[in-house]
Chain A
Amino acid sequence: MVSDILRVDSVHKAFGDNAVLRGITMSMTKHEVVVLIGASGSGKSTLLKCINGLEPIDAGLIVVDDLEVSDDDADLDAVRQKVGLVFQSFNLFPHMTVLENVTLAPVKVAGLQKTQAQERARELLGRFGLGEKTNEYPDRLSGGQQQRVAIVRALAMQPDLMLFDEVTSALDPELVGEVLDVIRDLKDSGMTILMATHEMGFAREVSDRVCFLHQGQVLESGPPEQLFGDPQQPRTREFLARLLG
């Protein structure tokens, strides 16, 4: 049996009176690519933030590798070094160049030598077609380039698990492809990926498994051919019908 890299067990999370996650349970094995789909408000983003420890949960258990994220006394900095998170709105540091954005955490958190971190950053940036942009500031880049830098910034910490939170939703349509190419490349290199997305075609193409979230629970999950081709739940059918027209 393959050990799970991520285990989410009966997790509850509310913002005030608004219960967003209501006993959600799921798990992932290493090298697996899992896509979260569901209407906005179904809890996709919140789940990703909880896995990264950015949002404390109210009940349940989240375990990444052998670290319990959900423990209130958990060493979250250690968890976050294993888990990379890429945001919908890029969130690059505007006062730093691309290279400084990418090397900040490796130098300050992982304790790498500056030259070593820069070397690794240049290599990663080159791999994703950003070799020319190392000394630019983020506001000089297109949205697609900024998002690719944000992905490289997370990769530079050599995470075991990458979380993508609707990373193409804030992009102009013609820029979506270049970001999806990066994710495809990561999948091919064996990265474990959990992503929330509205790009159904891409979800179908890259994922090993698709989870349909409804009202803070996984209502249905399965391989993409099955979930997209022959959904079992009426809610899933309804959602897909609305989205695919």
Chain B
Amino acid sequence: MSTASAAAAVTETAQPYVDPERRERRARKSRRNAIVATASTILFFVVVSVAVLNSPGWPSVQDAFFNPAYFWSSWPSILSALLVNIKMFLIAEVAILILGMALALIRLSKSPTLMPLRIVGTVYTDVFRGTPTLLVVLLLGFGIPALNLQGVPTDPLIWGTVALILSYTAYVAEVFRAGIASIHPSQRAAAQSLGLSTTQANRYVVLPQAVRRVIPPLLNDFVSLQKDTALVSVLGPIEALRAAQIIVYSKFNYTPYIVAAICFIALTIPLARFTDWLTARQEAQRSMGSR
């Protein structure tokens, strides 16, 4: 179609105008892409299944990990133990959010009186980000009850949760800190030029924007925390992984582990999808804002 008639087509209607030939070419291309994607996906799974199912050890693996009888019989005890994991991460997440924000603010503060706290905050972050979470769980879970301190609880579940909180607070504080640093200084200047104090500028202008910006990475850390509640199993309390382990040891069959894995996956998928959705929405808002 010539440029002149294309221009005429635009003026005739207020509808967006797309050259029909171009529209057809694009439709053909996207149909071809869909066919290629489907074919390569099917091929991939066929090849993998054939390779696994024909491997020499498959029959024994199938019996050890995918035994239907054990699969169905282990559900009730693992599911009820999963409630313990849920309780742990719900309590931990609230504590982590509060402590992480406090730590971020301390590390970003400039007040000379807070210097000792800043040093403690830096050391804390270095120590707990550097120590494997499993090690923190072991040290707190076995170490503190062994002190025989009066009034201090000895429940391993409590100390396991505290270990998770300490470990993840170090990560989450860094996420908050990055979020606060990403807000342009002109926002703070604008707030201060209106007479807001430093604290007010933080409270009403900087932090609300920073928190909104870090929600996706924050939720990502929480997805990771939800499955890390299984680390507390080393201390003995019967959560999902421990419950599976008990059946494994009594029946000499690994199928309960698969059941536990499915439970953890099911637990994290909603939060993971929610994170994706939120990220996509923020992206859409940003592109709309920069029209």
Binding site for B on A (CB under 8 A): 52, 54, 76-78, 80-81, 84-85, 87, 89, 91-95, 104-105, 108-110, 139, 153-154, 157
Contacts and interface: CB of A to CB of B under 8 A. Distances in A.
A109 B205 contact: no
Interface in B224-262: none
A54 B195 contact: no
Contact of A95 (B186, B189, B194, B212): B212
Determine the main DSSP class of B at the interface with A.
Answer: helix
A166 B164 CA distance: 52
A78 B209 CA distance: 26
A157 B194 CA distance: 7
A92 B189 CA distance: 11
Interface in B153-168: none
A77 B208 CA distance: 22
A188 to B, nearest CB: 24
Contact of A109 (B190, B195, B209, B291): B195
* B190, B204, B205, B291: residue with the most chain A Cβ atoms closer than 10 Å: B190
24 contacts: A54-B189, A77-B196, A80-B192, A80-B194, A80-B195, A84-B193, A87-B186, A87-B189, A89-B186, A91-B187, A91-B190, A92-B190, A93-B191, A94-B289, A95-B209, A95-B212, A104-B194, A104-B196, A104-B205, A108-B200, A110-B195, A139-B289, A153-B194, A157-B195
Given A104-B204, A109-B200, A139-B289, A93 B190 contact: yes
Given A89-B186, A94-B209, A108-B204, A80 B289 contact: no
B186 A77 contact: no
A109 B190 CA distance: 14
Nearest to B189: A54
Given A93-B205, A109-B200, A81 B289 contact: no
Contacts of B282: none
Q: Interface size bucket, B side?
A: 20 to 34
* A78, A108, A110: residue with the most chain B Cβ atoms closer than 10 Å: A108
A165 to B, nearest CB: 10
A77 B192 CA distance: 8
A91 B184 CA distance: 10
A81 B196 CA distance: 9
A105 B196 contact: yes
Nearest to A83: B193
A87 B209 contact: no
B228 to A, nearest CB: 32
Nearest to A92: B190
3 pairs of A and B residues whose beta carbons are closest in the complex: A139-B289, A91-B190, A105-B194
A139 B196 contact: no
B146 interface: no
B80 interface: no
A139 B290 CA distance: 7
A104 B290 CA distance: 24
Contacts of A91: 186-187, 189-190
Nearest to A150: B190
